[in-house]
């Protein structure tokens, strides 16, 4: 049989191990909660950035469409005639220069 001091030491030993394991579990739980919170924050930020990207892509597409509409030959010709009073030269206006 074991003596009382040995039994007390054994109980103290198991008590210490249980305390360390409990502390490890608590610290692990706190770490899980912190990581989950950071993950949620990161996901919310990702969604905001994706929404901003979608808005910018939409705006870019709109601008490309507007640019193509403004750069048509008809529109350029019309602007040249109306704003700059330009016209297509007639055959009499064309001169050929020889060196």
Question: How do the pLDDT tens digits run along the chain, 99 residues long?
Answer: 567 778 778 787 888 899 999 999 999 999 999 999 999 999 999 999 999 999 999 999 999 999 998 888 888 888 889 999 998 888 888 888 887
Distance (Å) of CA 19 to CA 5, 11, 16, 29: 21, 12, 5, 15
Residue 4 forms part of a structural domain: no
Residue 95 lies in a domain: no
Question: Are 80 and 86 a contacting pair, CB within 8 Å?
Answer: yes
Residue 91 lies in a domain: no
H-assigned helices in the chain: 4-70, 73-84
Total domains in the fold of the chain: 1
* pTM for the full predicted model: 0.55
Which domain range does residue 61 map to?
A: 10-86
């Amino acid at each position: 049989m074991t003596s009382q001091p040995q039994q007390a030491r054994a109980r103290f030993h198991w008590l210490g191990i249980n305390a360390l394991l409990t502390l490890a579990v608590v610290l692990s739980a706190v770490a899980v909660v912190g990581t989950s919170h950071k993950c949620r924050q990161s996901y919310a930020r990702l969604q905001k950035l994706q929404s901003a990207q979608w808005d910018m892509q939409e705006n870019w597409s709109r601008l490309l469409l507007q640019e193509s509409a403004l750069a048509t030959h008809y529109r350029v010709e019309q602007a040249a005639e109306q704003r700059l009073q330009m016209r297509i030269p007639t055959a009499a206006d064309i001169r050929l220069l020889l060196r």
